Amino acid sequence: MKQQVFNPYLPSWEYVPDGEPHVFGDRVYVYGSHDAFGAPIFCVNDYICWSAPVNDLSDWRYEGVIYRKTQDPGNPFGIRSLYAPDVTQGPDGRYYLYYAFDFLGEFGVAVCDTPAGKYEFYGKVHHKDGKVWGKKSGEQFPFDPGVLTDDDGRVWLYSGFATKVPFVASRWHNLRNDGGVVMELEPDMVTIKQEPKVIFPIQGKEGAFPHAFFEASSIRKVDGKYCFVYSSEYNHDLCYAISDRPDGGFRYGGVLVDLGDLYLDGNTDESHANNYLGNTHGGMLNIGDDWYIFYHRQTNRSSYARQACAEKLVRTPDGGFKQAEVTSCGLNGGPLKGKGTYEARIACNLWAKGHETGRVDGSNPKKRLAAHPYFTQTGKDREGNGDQYIANMRDGATAGYKYFAYDGTETEAAVRMRGAGTGEMQFSDTPDFTRILAKIPVTLAGVELTASAPFKTEAGVKPLYIRYEGSGAVDFVSFTIA
């Protein structure tokens, strides 16, 4: 690769959640929703696209806006948001973009001759009688489309939202939220050929999985089988199920990734996860023999400024996938170099004193969140060069980075900080800081400071944890191992 690549793999000022990666030609294209930094709701920006060569996942290129909110005929003033999309190449060779039109209970479809060109509105997913799906009383609520053009040219559309919250759209149209559904589309890509049927029932119903379906439908072919990826009832994980056919018979496979590394090593305690939790959504990418899971993380103490991340997957002997650990170097193909300057924002682990975390989606009182560190940025949405950092590191707050390859030589560690506080920044390769690698004194009085101290660790691939101990609050910008 031309350079190292980190999580999040897009620029620090970019907020693309719900990322669906697809290989078209010799490039990987990522389609997702588009959050705005500082927004009070999800997905307020227009759809954009990023792409990279299949042989260099560090070289991401901005493809620009591919579809504007106002292009949907029902949204001329851009008041409604467009939620998680997916894209497939239809039997006719054109590219079709499917999206959930806000919470209004309908799927829009746009079309383009190229993967990342200017998509044009094409229609709404509808029944054979022309009635838009989601407008008949008792139908399943259309949400989070996942679409697959199969090897035989048949087109399968997946959807589902198992929430128990009675959204306005559901009350208007008396829609149902029974779980994940599948339907076949006609070759025109918008007419329903086989009516939607529930194949992923919510917890408590027959056939429910250990991690029951909630949302985030995504579909791929793996070794000739159908692999369905979804976010479960726990909302901060992506799980998968496998079947020999596209319209049923799915068997639960396991967790692919969890924002806080829950379920790894038996930990299920949300209040002591390895990172702050919220919703996540993504899809799988296959390049040669390698498989990846794409997902998103939370920033800015909310669920409305989410960023794209990815991890490499390891296969199991039975053809399945192990749960991936959340790392700072997901697409890098290996650990990061043990020398260099790194932005604090690439931390894959973040917690407050006592390894305390929790959810950032509204279930944590603001008073409690005020004591916790979080990712944020200077400036407004997409403004400037994206000076993202970790804010509000108080006594005991820890940022973790996985992984670095060290050569074992004695070096120097430095940290760049802002804020007001007195104490020290401690470096360790263990999360409980039983082994301290460096202690850097900190005295901040509202100005930016770079401070350093000797640093040494054994040769090998290791994690790095950086903890603040002291008074006040520190904004952690970057660190250097020289």
* pLDDT tens, position by position, 245-267: 999 999 999 999 999 999 998 99
Decide if 383 is catalytic: no
Q: Is 366 exposed, middle or buried (0-12, 13-18, 19+ CB in 10 A)?
A: exposed
Per residue in 82-93, pLDDT (tens digit) is 999 999 999 999
CATH for the 337-481 domain, from 2.60.120.260, 2.30.42.10, 3.40.640.10, 1.25.40.10: 2.60.120.260
| Confidence category of residue 166, pLDDT binned at 50, 70, 90 | low
Mean pLDDT estimate for the chain:
94
The dihedral formed by the CA atoms of 22, 86, 98 and 277, expressed in degrees to the nearest 10? -170
| Per annotation, catalytic residue among 106, 215, 424, 429 | 215
Contacts of 136 by beta carbon, 8 Å cutoff, 6+ apart: 127, 173
pLDDT of residue 370: 85
Contacts of 452 by beta carbon, 8 Å cutoff, 6+ apart: 412, 413, 414, 415, 440, 480, 482
Structure token pair of residue 277: 């939790």
- Of residues 421 and 410, which shows the higher confidence score? 421
Across 457-467, average pLDDT: 97
> Own/partner pairs for 199-208, CB < 8 Å, 24+ apart?
199/247, 199/248, 199/250, 200/160, 200/228, 200/230, 200/241, 200/250, 202/162, 202/177, 202/178, 202/233, 203/233, 205/178, 205/179
Percent of the chain with pLDDT over 70: 95
Per residue in 12-26, pLDDT (tens digit) is 999 999 999 999 999
Structure token pair of residue 323: 């749960």
Looking at residue 129, the DSSP 8-state letter turns out to be: T
Contacts of 68 by beta carbon, 8 Å cutoff, 6+ apart: 46, 47, 78
Residue range(s) of every CATH 2.115.10.20 domain in the chain: 20-333
| Per annotation, catalytic residue among 14, 18, 106, 343 | 18
Name the CATH superfamily housing domain 20-333: Glycosyl hydrolase domain; family 43 (2.115.10.20)
pLDDT of residue 171: 57
pTM (two decimals): 0.97
Contacts of 22 by beta carbon, 8 Å cutoff, 6+ apart: 28, 29, 31, 87, 88, 115, 285
Residue range(s) of every CATH 2.60.120.260 domain in the chain: 337-481
Among 460, 444, 454, 445, smallest CA distance to 482 is for 454
In the predicted model, is pLDDT for residue 270 greater than 60? yes
pLDDT of residue 208: 73
The DSSP H or E segment spanning 301 is none
Looking at residue 191, the DSSP 8-state letter turns out to be: B
The DSSP H or E segment spanning 326 is none
Decide if 144 is catalytic: no
| Confidence category of residue 174, pLDDT binned at 50, 70, 90 | confident
Per residue in 41-70, pLDDT (tens digit) is 999 999 999 999 999 999 999 999 999 999
| Confidence category of residue 157, pLDDT binned at 50, 70, 90 | very high
Structure token pair of residue 225: 């089988």
DSSP strands (E only) in 153-250: 155-160, 179-185, 192-201, 213-222, 225-232, 237-243
